Amino acid sequence: MGESIRLSVVGMDDDGNKYPVQVTWSSNDPEIASIDEEGVLVALAKGTTEISYRYEDLERSVEIYVESKPVDRIDLSVHTWEELLLVEGASVTIQAETYGTMGVGASVPVRAKVDFTIEDPAVATIEDKFLEGVMWHVTIRGEAEGTTNLVITSPQAPEELELRVRIRVRAYDQPAAEWQTDALAAGFFTNCALAAGKAYCWGEGIFGGLGNGRDEISAVPVPVAGEHVFVQIGTRESHVCALDDENRTWCWGNNFAGALGTPQSVLGYSNVPVEVASAPPFAKLRVGNNRACGLTSEGKAYCWGLNSHGQLGIGTTSDEQPEPTAVVGDHVFVDIVFGGNVTCGLDVQGKIWCWGERTSALGLGEDIPHVNPAPVQLDVPTTFKSITAGYFHVCALDVDGDLWCWGNGEYGQLGIPVSFDLYFPTKIEIDHTFVAIYAGGRHTCGIDQDGAAWCWGANESGQLGVGDSLSSTHPRAVMGDLTFAELALGSSTTCGRTTEGYTYCWGDGSAGRRGDGTSSHAYYPMPVTAPTTEDGGEP
C-alpha cells in the first residue's frame, strides 16, 4: 500500500515476435488501487480489486491485492499549533507527507492513503487534492467567515494519530480607495507618501519618525511639519529622508550613528525635518537602516550614517559618519539599495557593485573578508536595469527581464523551492516577466506588464496580500484585481499605488502601519485613509 508500479502489455505475432500494445486501463475499485492511462498503478488502500486492460475487442483483467504499510508520522507544511488564516474566496495549498518505520528504527517517507476532512464545510472546503510521489497536496478554499478544523488521518496509521489544523476565514471587504498619492515609502516602523509635494507619514511615531512634531503613533496619515515641497521620500528602519524641489535633503526620526546628517551627540532624534546641510544637491535619494545615500546628477554617490561594517562604501569603517561622504571609485551609479549591513549600487553600464558585511546578500561568496568597505563588482554574465534589496536578500532584473536573486532564502523570498542562502547572483526560474521588482524585510514582490502585483516570501502578517497567512517560495497574485504603478515593502507591511494613484497597504497593521485607522493585519490590499483637516490638512 502506498507504492506504485507501471504496467505494460505486449503482444505476439504469428512468428513469436513480441511487440508493445497500447491498451486502455481501468480499475474496478479505484479507492483500493488506481491506474492512469499510462499504466501507472497506485496502491491506495488495503483490499482486493481487479485491474482491467482492453485492446480493441479483447479485454482481460488481473486481480490485485493491496497490503498496507504502517504509517507512524504525518508531517504538514503548516504548524498544527498555528491558526491558518484565509479570506473568503481565497484558496491555499498545504502539503502532507507520510512516514513509516522500516528496519530498525528508520523512519522513511512512504506512499500512503491520507484522509482530509473539513469539520464545517460552510466555512471552508477542500477544493482539490492529489498525491505526488509520497506528498499529498491539498487546496483549501475559504467559503464564509468563521472557524473550523481540518482533520488529517490515515487508515494506515494508529487511531490516535490525528492532526488538526485550526482554520479561520475572514470576510472579504475591500472598500473603495479615496487617497491619491504621487510616491510611496515603506519602512519597518513608519510608512510615508507624497501628495502634491506634501509628505505624509503614519505608523510608529517613536523617535519622531512621523515628522509631525510629535512622538506618538498615528494609524492614519499625518502631514510632515513645514512648508516643504518634496519630490522624493524614503525610509527603511527608524528614520525618514526626503528630497525637496531645490535638491536639498531633509531627514527626521532616529539619528542613530548620524543618520540625520548631524552627530548623534548633538542630536538624538528629531520629530521634524532637519536639513542635511553638508549634502550636495542630489538628483536621487535612497534611505537604508541608520544610513542614507544620495546620487548627484552625474551619478556620484555620497553616503552617511552607520558604517560599522563598511556599508557606506567610503573605504573605511566607523561607528558614525554624519557627513555625506563620496563612495570610493569613479563609479557612475543610477541606483543604490540597502540590505541590513550590505549596500549595492547599479552603475550606468548595468553592472552591480556591493560593499559592507560579509553575508550571502553581498553576492561575493563566502571566501571574502568580513568587512568590505569599498565597492566590489559582482561576477554576473549579464547586465541589469533595476535592483532592490530586503534586509538579508537582493534581487535584480536584467536587461532581458529575467530575475536574479541572492542572499538569505529562509522564508522563500528568493523565489526558489528550498530555504537556503545563495551566495552568488542566481537566475530565478519563474513563470512571470516583471517590469519592476521590490524587496522588503523577508518578502519580495514584482509588477508584471499588465500592472498586476505578485509576491512571495514571508507572510505571517499577510504581507503578500494573497488572502492567507502562508509563506510562499513562488510568486502568488495579490488579491483585488488592482493595477499597480508602484509598490513599497516594509518589514511585514506592503503598500501599493495604482496607476490612478490610489493608495493601499496590507500586512502588519500594528501601531497603525497600514494607515486605515486600525491596528489589525490585512491579508489583501486595503485603502489608506485620506488625511482630513482634523489631521492637519487635505492632501
> Does 326 share its domain with 413?
yes
Tell me the three state secondary structure of residue 9: strand
Contact 312, 294 (CB under 8 A): no
> Does 363 share its domain with 451?
yes
| Average pLDDT of every residue of the chain | 93
- Give the pLDDT band of residue 533 (cuts 50, 70, 90): low
Distances (CA, A) of 438 to 119, 248, 467: 39, 26, 20
Residue 454 has pLDDT above 60, yes or no: yes
Provide DSSP, 304-368. Answer: EEEETTSTT-SSS-EEEEEEEEEPSSS--EEEEEE-SSEEEEEETTS-EEEEEE-SGGG-S-SSS
The answer to whether residue 178 is domain-embedded is no
Backbone angles phi, psi at 211, to 5 degrees: 70, 15
**What cell numbers appear for 253 in the block?**
526620526
Which pLDDT value is given to residue 31? 85
Domain ends where: 170, 195, 215?
Answer: 170
Summarised one tens digit per residue, pLDDT across range 388-407 is 999 999 999 999 999 999 99
d(CA 389, CA 341): 11
d(CA 208, CA 202): 11
Provide DSSP, 431-450. Answer: S--EEEEEE-SSEEEEEETT
Tell me which of 181 and 79 has the higher pLDDT: 181
CATH number assigned to the domain comprising residue 379: 2.130.10.30
Strand 163-170, strand 84-87: pairing: parallel
Which pLDDT value is given to residue 537? 41
Provide DSSP, 209-258. Answer: TT-SS--S-EEEEEEPSSS--EEEEEESSSEEEEEETTS-EEEEEE-GGG
Summarised one tens digit per residue, pLDDT across range 35-64 is 998 888 888 777 899 999 998 888 989 998
**CB neighbourhood size of 219 (10 A):** 19
> Does 462 share its domain with 482?
yes
Residue 458 has pLDDT above 90, yes or no: yes
d(CA 444, CA 148): 31
d(CA 295, CA 48): 74
The pLDDT of 132-154, averaged and rounded, is 95
> Does 205 share its domain with 351?
yes
Residue 107 has pLDDT above 90, yes or no: no
Contact 528, 514 (CB under 8 A): yes
Backbone angles phi, psi at 206, to 5 degrees: -60, 140
What residues pair up with 463 in beta bridges, in sequence order? none
Which pLDDT value is given to residue 291? 98
- Count the residues in the chain: 539
Task: Note the pTM of the prediction, 2 decimals.
Answer: 0.87
Residue 534 has pLDDT above 60, yes or no: no
The answer to whether residue 177 is domain-embedded is no
> Does 237 share its domain with 162?
no
Domain ends where: 24, 46, 66?
Answer: 66
The answer to whether residue 205 is domain-embedded is yes
Least confident of 157-161, 188-192, 466-470, 519-523: 157-161
Domain ends where: 35, 66, 97?
Answer: 66
> Does 10 share its domain with 84?
no
> Does 256 share its domain with 235?
yes
> Does 118 share its domain with 215?
no
- Give the pLDDT band of residue 226 (cuts 50, 70, 90): very high
- Give the pLDDT band of residue 13 (cuts 50, 70, 90): confident
CATH number assigned to the domain comprising residue 21: 2.60.40.1080
Contact 223, 200 (CB under 8 A): yes
How many domains does the chain contain in total? Answer: 3
What residues pair up with 496 in beta bridges, in sequence order? 487, 504
Contact 488, 185 (CB under 8 A): yes
Write out the residue range of the structural domain in which residue 78 sits: 73-170
The answer to whether residue 443 is domain-embedded is yes
d(CA 186, CA 486): 12
Listed in sequence order, the residues at least 6 apart from 105 whose beta carbon sits closer than 8 Å to its beta carbon are none
> Does 24 share its domain with 156?
no
Radius of gyration, CA atoms only, the chain: 28
Proportion of the chain above pLDDT 90, given as a percent = 81
The answer to whether residue 176 is domain-embedded is no
The answer to whether residue 47 is domain-embedded is yes
Which pLDDT value is given to residue 1? 60
Provide DSSP, 156-199. Answer: TS-TT--EEEEEEEE----PPP--B-SEEEE-SSEEEEEETTEE
d(CA 395, CA 380): 13
Least confident of 92-101, 193-202, 252-261, 273-282: 92-101
d(CA 343, CA 137): 40
The pLDDT of 294-323, averaged and rounded, is 97
> Does 312 share its domain with 380?
yes
Least confident of 104-108, 249-253, 433-437: 104-108
- Give the pLDDT band of residue 235 (cuts 50, 70, 90): very high
> Does 95 share its domain with 61?
no
The answer to whether residue 360 is domain-embedded is yes
d(CA 205, CA 215): 5
d(CA 329, CA 351): 14
The answer to whether residue 84 is domain-embedded is yes
Backbone angles phi, psi at 138, to 5 degrees: -125, 125
Residue 480 has pLDDT above 90, yes or no: yes
> Does 188 share its domain with 241?
yes
